Amino acid sequence: MSRIMLILLIAAPAAVIARLLGADPILVFILSAAGLIPLASMIGEATEELTAYTGPRLGGLLNATLGNAAELIITIFAIREGLLDLVKASITGSILGNLLLVLGLSLLAGGLRNGLQFFDRRQAGLNATLLILAVVALAIPSLFDVAVAEVPSSELLFSEGVALILILLYVLVLIYGFTAPATDPSTTREAAPEHEARWSLRFSVIVLVAATVGTAVVSETLVGAVEPVTEVLGLTEFFLGIIIIPLVGNVAEHLAAVTVAVKNKMELSLSIALGSSQQVALFVAPLLVFISLLFGKRLLLVFNEFELIALIGASIIAAFIAQDGESNWLEGAMLLAVYLIIGLAFFFLPPQFA
């Protein structure tokens, strides 16, 4: 872990202490957000170390399962507190962040450093197609909700049915990823070299468990400060969910995608950005539907028209970029421009429309 991450790690216990002492909610929120960044990084690093012992197939499953662990924990506590709009906004924000912000930064940084970059068009195209399918699947309950909502029990069963299908599809995606031959073996070996363990197996497990527990504690502190922060700063719960929460929960994964792009491993960078978006749409979002039932809540896969427009637009843009097998810094700049425009739009969106 870098020195910066170690410094930020101090913010985690500081956030808990600040909350217990009744400190300003804004300070608690800032400390919690800062503390979650190194904790998410630790989960990612410990998972990477475990792959050296479990092998590439099981390691891939661990990475896929724990890739969004921090954000998943945050949203679970938000569900418990009844902040369902925050949860749905964070689902949207996570997908948008990966497709526009992360992919945009990766293309920009990689292109400025290496010029025109190339990647496996077939694999990237498959990931982009799966993503569009997942976004369409998320949009269907939203479009049909006006009619289905006439019968509340049917509305919940509809979301549950869609969620179950998405999870099954995600399982099939994992099976295909583990069994399908690489389309370009030389590219695959270069992009994902075998990882050599730096930690012992025992230490890796201890770090993973400790980081997960720490993430749970700090996430509860963060969620507890959401409502006071929205009131004091005049921000909507929707904006916090769509912009702030995804950035905090996925910052380690974001940095990884940009880093490998700079190293001219664009295929791996696209795999991280598109794969994380897939995971949120196909696994995290539907899983939260069932988790909400454990808390007596009803989280429906129903998003507003502004979220749907942003999600569909972002997935189509990502698909266009993936189809030609090459990228440049200008494409990255364009993705970032779209993300900033969407961010401004959601910032000024009145609460009654969120």
- Scanning the structure block, which residue is given the tokens 């949860």? 87
What's the CA gap between 69 and 81, in Å, rounded?
19
How would you classify residue 262: left for phi > 0, otherwise alpha for psi between -120 and 50, otherwise beta? alpha
Q: Which domains does the chain have, with CATH numbers?
A: 3-353 (1.20.1420.30)
pLDDT per position in the chain (354 positions), as tens? 677 888 889 999 999 999 999 999 999 999 998 998 888 888 878 877 887 787 656 665 666 567 678 888 889 999 999 999 899 999 999 999 999 999 999 999 999 999 999 988 888 888 888 889 989 988 999 889 888 887 777 888 999 999 999 999 998 988 887 777 655 444 443 454 555 778 888 998 899 899 889 998 998 899 888 888 888 888 888 888 898 888 887 776 777 788 889 989 888 888 888 888 888 999 999 999 999 999 999 999 999 999 999 999 999 998 888 888 899 999 999 999 999 999 999 999 888 776
Residue 335: name the closest of 353, 322, 354, 325 by CA: 322
What's the CA gap between 296 and 73, in Å, rounded?
17
Buried b (16+ CB within 10 A) or exposed e, 48-84: bbbbbeeeeeebbebbbebbbbbbbbbbbbbbbbebb
Q: Which residues contact 29 (CB under 8 A, 6 or more apart)?
A: 222, 225, 226, 229
Would you give the DSSP letter of residue 38? Answer: H
This prediction has a pTM of: 0.85
